[in-house]
A = this chain, B = another copy of it.
Amino acid sequence: MTAGIVDTSITGMTGRVRRRVDELLADFLDARRPPVGDPDVAEGYRLLREFVVEGGKRIRPLLCYWGWRGAGGETPHEDRAVTTGAALELYHAGLLIHDDVMDGSELRRGRPTIHRGLARAPRWPEAETFGRSAAILLGVLAQAWADELLADATVGDVRGRTARELFNRMRTEVVTGQYLDILAHTRADADVEQALTVIRYKTARYTVERPLQIGAALAGAPPALLEAYSRFGLPLGEAFQLRDDVLGVFGDPAVTGKPVLDDLREGKRTVLMAHAYARARGPERDLLRTWHGDPGLDERRAAELRQVIVDTGALDEVEELIALRAGQAIEALRDQTIAPEAARALAVLTERLTRRVR
């Protein structure tokens, strides 16, 4: 078998898993009819379906799938891993809908966020209040449904039970990570250590480590493999979030699907910004304090902020952190407990999730 053929096969499997997750989510959501016959309620359900089915990179389902295969999961039992992955995706949709309410974001995946899209009552501020409340409810609904989907896939044996326990732990971790994140906004200047703790819980465990482990648990993985996935997943997850933070300031909106000024206007307390704060002195520091987090920030000021981030060396520092973590992740894949084909697929994913795209 040549490297080329192996890669094709991994890409093929990845594409197939993604399509199956999409189909499964579409079927599941089509079957959810509102219990009351009201056109505006039906519209809310439709918007939720569209948000889930038509967007998203399916990172968590893919990691769940490869985590499962890496633990020796075999094709005839694939449904379970795919359904569990779909449940992770549905849960994530609910979380994003709430995240956008909390951040007051206008766009997600190149479209209006749910709370903005629904802010269509005749008058303002009623429209805004309605949009926000409706988004809270639709997010809650997505999470409840995710739970139903997961229960179907994990019922009946010890493997399923372990997967469910990891899912439960993941929910508590991510919500707590989000809590720490919003706390950071109420505190003085961004702090590097705190920002790193936030991304560990909010992203590294949630997006990478737990999905891998949940998939692995479904294949009956031994503790040693769950630990190997932690050693791989945590640095990869951190690198992925650090890359996302860089893209949030320097990325191309056509690729990221969100306005490039959002993160700066929100005053997002990323590791990148924490490094900039820690290094900036005098007028550079004043510039950060004045404009980072100002909702009225324009492109000219944003360019100045970017210059500060570059000039202080914060960007180089974060690029180094990303490279270091991506290297640690790749290193962890040498673990003999991970099935070779899955290790190759995870290496491909590592590259895709952490590479520079500017």
Binding site for B on A (CB under 8 A): 32, 34-36, 38, 40-41, 44, 98, 101-102, 121-122, 126-127, 129-130, 132-134, 136-141, 143-145, 147-148, 151, 155, 161, 164, 168, 171-173, 175-180, 182-183, 185-186, 197, 201
Q: How far is the CB of A297 from chain B (nearest CB, A)?
A: 17
Q: Which of B144, B151, B186 contacts A127 (CB 8 A)?
A: B186
CA distance A141 to B176 in the complex (A): 9
What are 17 sample pairs from A and B whose C-beta atoms fall under 8 A apart?
A: A35-B172, A36-B180, A38-B183, A40-B183, A102-B136, A126-B185, A129-B185, A130-B185, A133-B182, A137-B178, A138-B179, A144-B168, A144-B171, A144-B172, A144-B175, A145-B172, A155-B161
Neighbouring B residues of A148 by C-beta, 8 Å: 168
Q: How far is the CB of A269 from chain B (nearest CB, A)?
A: 13
Neighbouring B residues of A38 by C-beta, 8 Å: 180, 183, 197
Neighbouring B residues of A180 by C-beta, 8 Å: 36, 38, 41
Copies in the complex: 2
Neighbouring B residues of A143 by C-beta, 8 Å: 140, 143-144
CA distance A155 to B177 in the complex (A): 29
Q: Which of B40, B145, B164, B197 contacts A36 (CB 8 A)?
A: B197
CA distance A161 to B44 in the complex (A): 29
Q: How far is the CB of A145 from chain B (nearest CB, A)?
A: 8
CA distance A129 to B266 in the complex (A): 12
- Closest partner residue, chain B, to A101 (CB atom): B136
Question: Are A140's CB and B36's CB within 8 A?
Answer: no
Question: Are B141's CB and A172's CB within 8 A?
Answer: yes
Neighbouring B residues of A141 by C-beta, 8 Å: 171-172, 175-176
Q: Which of B134, B144, B182, B185 contacts A137 (CB 8 A)?
A: B182
CA distance A175 to B186 in the complex (A): 31
Question: Are B102's CB and A133's CB within 8 A?
Answer: yes
Neighbouring B residues of A164 by C-beta, 8 Å: 151
Residue with the greatest number of chain B CB neighbours at <10 A, chosen from A126, A172, A176, A182: A182
- Closest partner residue, chain B, to A198 (CB atom): B36
Question: Are A134's CB and B179's CB within 8 A?
Answer: yes
Neighbouring B residues of A171 by C-beta, 8 Å: 141, 144
CA distance A177 to B34 in the complex (A): 10
CA distance A178 to B133 in the complex (A): 9
Neighbouring B residues of A127 by C-beta, 8 Å: 186
CA distance A102 to B135 in the complex (A): 10
Neighbouring B residues of A155 by C-beta, 8 Å: 155, 161
Residue with the greatest number of chain B CB neighbours at <10 A, chosen from A138, A139, A171, A179: A179
- Closest partner residue, chain B, to A127 (CB atom): B186
Neighbouring B residues of A151 by C-beta, 8 Å: 151, 164
CA distance A221 to B315 in the complex (A): 64
Neighbouring B residues of A168 by C-beta, 8 Å: 144, 148
CA distance A176 to B34 in the complex (A): 7
CA distance A147 to B148 in the complex (A): 10
Question: Are B136's CB and A44's CB within 8 A?
Answer: no
CA distance A187 to B309 in the complex (A): 48
Q: How far is the CB of A247 from chain B (nearest CB, A)?
A: 23
